[in-house]
Chain A
Amino acid sequence: MLTAAPPGGVELLESHDNHIVNNEMMRNGQGLAFFQSNNNKVTGNTYHLSQMLSAESLSEMVFW
């Protein structure tokens, strides 16, 4: 069942080994959201007024 996917600057689903570097992700529902996405390198980004969602929240987030 699709319940929700949070909006965001960048949302990754089942995506790995990517580089997300030096982006501004302000005033988003989520600055950056990961679902089942591992080994991504994230550095130099700004998230003011945005939440950060990590894979640890996966059990609470049902995408499909």
Chain B
Amino acid sequence: MRDFKYFNNLRSISCLTILAWLAMAANASPSTPVSCSDNLSVPGKYVLESDLTCDKPLEFNVSGVHLDLGGHTLSCSSPEQWQFPPASADTPTNDLNKWISGIEVNFGLNTFGPSVANISNAEITNGSVTNCHDGIFVYHTVDSKFRPMDLSGNLSDADCCAARGGGVT
């Protein structure tokens, strides 16, 4: 009798363990692959599955986007398309449309200004962003994490500031 009770207890524990594992598996939602110029409009997990060279930023404007660069590199095809030469040394000609950041967080020409609401819980991790104006541009964003990434080689001093006629030092 004691053995039977022990067996029943063991079976119950096993069933509970399997149920817990199934519940965890159900909650571990897969990551959605991203492409150049995607606008990630739904909170969730996203992943870069290969190296990409893009001429428009990858962007999102909602809270709760977790972007895993998957150890890959997101490159801009050109750091930016500023109008050269600047109109004058003191008034460099520029245009927000011409900035090309690798990843833009809560930023866009239609969402620019003092009334923009904050987003939160953004996370970008595990990869590289290079050859852009900004690797990552973050606007009206709180309680978010950016780690660990290689964000090197985004518009060098010589490239940017000399061409802009000293507008930025």
Secondary structure class of chain B's binding surface, majority of residues: loop
Q: Is B45 an interface residue (CB 8 A)?
A: no
Size bracket, chain A contacts = 20 to 34
Q: In whole Å, how far is B26's beta carbon from the nearest beta carbon of chain A? A: 29
How many chain B residues sit at the interface, stated as a range, is 35 or more
- Would A21 and B154 count as touching, CB distance under 8 A? no
In the complex, A22 Cα to B148 Cα: how many Å? 5
For B137, list chain A residues within 8 Å (CB).
10-11, 13
Known: A21-B148, A25-B135, A28-B152. A7 touches B142 (CB 8 A): no
Would you call B152 and A24 a contact (CB within 8 A)?
yes
Contact mask for chain B residues 62-98; partner A; CB cutoff 8 A; 1 contact, 0 none = 0000000000000000011000000000011010100
CB distance from B106 to the nearest CB of A (A): 8
A26, B153: Cα distance in complex, Å: 6
Closest to A9 in B: B151
Nearest Cβ distance between residue A49 and chain B, in whole angstroms? 8
Within 8 Å of chain A (Cβ to Cβ): is B138?
yes
- B157 — which chain A residues lie within 8 A by C-beta? 29, 51
Instruction: Please tell me if the beta carbons of B154 and A29 are within 8 angstroms of each other in the complex.
Output: yes
- Is B138 within 8 A of A12, CB to CB? yes
Given A28-B154, A29-B159, 5 other A-B residues pairs in contact with their CB atoms under 8 A: A7-B154, A13-B139, A19-B146, A26-B153, A27-B156
Q: Which of B's residues lie within 8 Å of A, judged by CB?
A: 79-80, 91-92, 94, 96, 99, 101, 107, 116, 118, 132-157, 159-161, 164, 167-168
